[in-house]
Copies of this chain bind each other. A is one copy, B any other.
Amino acid sequence: MGAETTDFAQALRDAGLRVTPQRMVLLSILMGSADHPNADELLARARAVDDSVALATVYRTLSALEEAGLIRKLTLENEPARYEITPAAEHDHIVDIDSGEVIEISCDEINRLRRELLDRLGYEIVSQNTLIRARRIRKPRQAPDS
């Protein structure tokens, strides 16, 4: 029993990584985060659970999880990188330049066009990262979620 816990441990093992409390904590924090925390924020949240976690371990774990494809790193301009669980559906990110908030947008059509375009150029996409800096001008026409 303890389906989620087992999942994390199994996911780590499947990725060829040892199961350590630090990795379990970080993975569960990321899995349970609706936002996109950076390394410092992750350290703070991890320490709330296990106050011995070191920043170096956060970075090492994030690198390992990223390499294993379990999480994704968002490289922003002029601020530390943020992280998210690898999304099932590919999506891009908007950074609200006034609030600093990061919003996800899914865009299948854009992704399809991009893949086609790259294919025509003889490339295969390894990863892609679209960062849109934008300003809110009004309420959305329709709720983005649900």
Binding site for B on A (CB under 8 A): 73, 75-77, 92, 94, 96-97, 103, 105, 107, 109-110, 113-114, 117-118, 120-142, 144
Contacts and interface: CB of A to CB of B under 8 A. Distances in A.
B134 A105 contact: no
A127 B135 CA distance: 10
B94 A118 contact: yes
Contacts of A126: 97, 133-135
Nearest to A144: B121
A113 to B, nearest CB: 5
A140 B121 contact: yes
A72 B73 CA distance: 23
Given A94-B123, A122-B138, A139-B122, A117 B128 contact: no
CB-based closest 7 A-B pairs: A123-B134, A130-B130, A122-B140, A128-B132, A126-B133, A122-B138, A75-B77
Given A75-B76, A120-B140, A122-B137, A132 B105 contact: no
Given A73-B77, A75-B75, A113-B109, A118 B142 contact: no
